[in-house]
Amino acid sequence: MREKDIFKAIADPTRRQIISLLTQEAMPMNAIAERFPDISRPAVSKHVKVLTDIGLIAVHKDGRERFCHASLEPLKEVSEWVSQYERFWNQKLDNLGDYLKQKYGKK
């Protein structure tokens, strides 16, 4: 990824699955890779690197193992972006409800 774009990082379903796994518990790299038997270990490592670069995963060493855990603060940007559309659609649906009540009356 050329720029650190949270939306690009979470666009990939494998990366979303990795984030989901790590919200449950910290895991070593090998354990993450084992959860994706159809994907090569280097490919899983690349996904983890993208998530690490954007700050959604933090990696720490414990002996010879590299443990990953979720660090979800960057998702705040996504939440804020989505919330503006949530307000938009809530207003539209409220307007539709008002229109239907006015046109057809309360039942």
Give ∠ CA 64-65-66 in degrees, rounded to 5: 125
pLDDT digits (tens, 9 = 90+) for 35-93: 999 999 999 999 999 999 999 999 999 888 899 999 999 999 889 888 989 989 999 99
Per the structure, how many domains does the chain have? 2
CATH of residue 40 = 1.10.10.10
* 82 within a domain of the structure (yes/no): yes
Same domain, 18 and 50: yes
Q: For residue 100, what are the domain limits? A: 75-107
Prediction pTM value: 0.75
Same domain, 38 and 63: yes
* 55 within a domain of the structure (yes/no): yes
DSSP string of 14-77? HHHHHHHHHHH--EEHHHHHHT-TTS-HHHHHHHHHHHHHHTSEEEEEETTEEEEEE--TTHHH
Same domain, 86 and 55: no
**Is residue 66 within a helix (H) or strand (E), and if so which, with residue range?**
strand 65-70
